Amino acid sequence: MDKTPPNGPTNGPENNPANSNDPNGKTAPLDPQTRGLYFAFFNEIGIISQLSRAMMEASLPNGLSVAHFSVLNHLVRLGDGRTPLDIARAFQLPKTTMTHTLSVLEKNAMIILRPNPKDGRSKCVFLTDKGREFRDDAIASLDPDVAALSSRIPIKVVSELVDKLADIRKTLDDYRDE
Amino acid sequence: MDKTPPNGPTNGPENNPANSNDPNGKTAPLDPQTRGLYFAFFNEIGIISQLSRAMMEASLPNGLSVAHFSVLNHLVRLGDGRTPLDIARAFQLPKTTMTHTLSVLEKNAMIILRPNPKDGRSKCVFLTDKGREFRDDAIASLDPDVAALSSRIPIKVVSELVDKLADIRKTLDDYRDE
DNA sequence: ATTATATTGTGCGATATCGAACTATATAAT
DNA sequence: ATTATATAGTTCGATATCGCACAATATAAT
């Protein structure tokens, strides 16, 4: 994964009426077309998110949802021992949501929470065998869907999209903490 | 908006081990790289969805959420008088979720539900002035964010992404109803 | 016409999400 | 050392999401 900076031939402030600050400090009205474009973008993102969520949930064993799978998958891919807050930040979720998700996973014996030796306030999240197993099973159960999609959506297209979406995700992320 | 078909130089069944059905009817294992790619894609989609949702909610008046705004925006853009089920399908949401969302909007006098003259089981959703006003205000309150983003993410990139995402959305949509 | 099947919307219960307030610990300021 | 401030995680209450079962109506089959 290369880190292409999210700036190609961009529209600088000179192209963007909303960025030209006039004397009284107000902002010029945003170009309606630009506005519509970004709304359309987030709209598509939202619908695809919804669709993929539903698709995954249909193949997931009863009671466990995408949220749970995502956490397990994250830990398998990037290594366990992370703190709850680390994980919450990775998914851009509030920490209270992560507390709840982790407590369900813990009840299901798919993770173990241990005190963080480096920080008395914190904890570390470890996968159990059952957690890894569940994650593997979930992925396997999704294979038919992924296979079907990979024959309908060109891999190359998806590959390029992932890069660009990752850039945008980083940009949004940076923008969020001003 | 041109409708580029979602099939460029795609990976046909010949490239896709999971599509070659072997004698016993089972499916060959999916290429792990392909699998990872699609998971990465849906992961980025999910995080951006989460980020944009949080961003919008931060600018939205108290009590009303992205779900409510989206419905109002949809009705303004595509016209009101649609049925709840139409709207649910447009966002790929279960109809029970839409019932709830609409009931909140109705309580806030932003929509009116009237019986459907063409179908006794159904209803039609109409915008009120207050609903349109709320939608306009919401968009205006998001302008600073959109402006900031449009200076960070090239318009051209977003424009291309919207087209490709729309294709994928349609593909997923078709795939969903088998 | 009658019956069988499908569709629209709703009520309900279970769970998920999230903001606010809180506890405990860590870090910085003095 | 003491105090002030920041951070990690939890609890709690409000709301959202969604599957299931249901009533009402529509459509198809006979």
Within 10 A of A141 (CB to CB), how many other CB atoms are there? 14
Residue A50's CATH number: 1.10.10.10
Cα A44 to the chain's mean position, in Å? 15
Is the minimum distance from the CB of B70 to strand D below 7 Å?
Answer: no
What does the pLDDT look like over B6-58, one tens digit per residue?
Answer: 333 344 444 444 444 444 545 567 888 999 999 999 999 999 999 999 999 99
Decide which of B78 and B5 is more confident.
B78
Decide which of A174 and B66 is more confident.
B66
Structural domain containing residue A162: 31-176
| CA A126/CA A157 separation, integer angstroms | 35
Residue A47 inside a domain? The answer is: yes
With distances taken from each CA to the C1' atom of nucleotide C16, the closest residue turns out to be: A97
Confidence band, pLDDT 50/70/90 cuts, at residue B176: confident
Residue B11 inside a domain? The answer is: no
Taking the CA of residue B111 and the nearest CA in chain A, the distance in Å comes to 21
Residue of A nearest to B167 (CA): A153
| CA A21/CA A27 separation, integer angstroms | 6
Residue B171 inside a domain? The answer is: yes
| Mean predicted lDDT score pLDDT of chain A | 86
Is the minimum distance from the CB of A107 to strand D below 7 Å?
Answer: no
Per the structure, the count of domains in chain B is 1
**Nearest-CA neighbor of A148 among A80, A34, A74, A55?**
A55
| CA B169/CA B136 separation, integer angstroms | 27
Residue A119 inside a domain? The answer is: yes
Residue A122 inside a domain? The answer is: yes
pLDDT at position A28: 61
Residue B58 inside a domain? The answer is: yes
Residue B26 inside a domain? The answer is: no
Residue A6 inside a domain? The answer is: no
Residues of A (138-177) placing their beta carbon closer than 7 angstroms to any atom of strand D are none
Helices (H), chain A: 32-59, 66-78, 84-90, 95-107, 129-150, 155-176
Residue A4 pLDDT > 60: no
What ipTM does this complex have?
0.86
What does the pLDDT look like over A68-124, one tens digit per residue?
Answer: 999 999 999 999 999 999 999 999 999 999 999 999 999 999 999 999 999 999 999
| CA A173/CA B158 separation, integer angstroms | 17
Put simply, the answer to whether A175 touches B148 (Cβ < 8 Å) is yes
Q: Which of A53-57, A82-86, B11-15, B60-64 has the lowest mean pLDDT?
A: B11-15
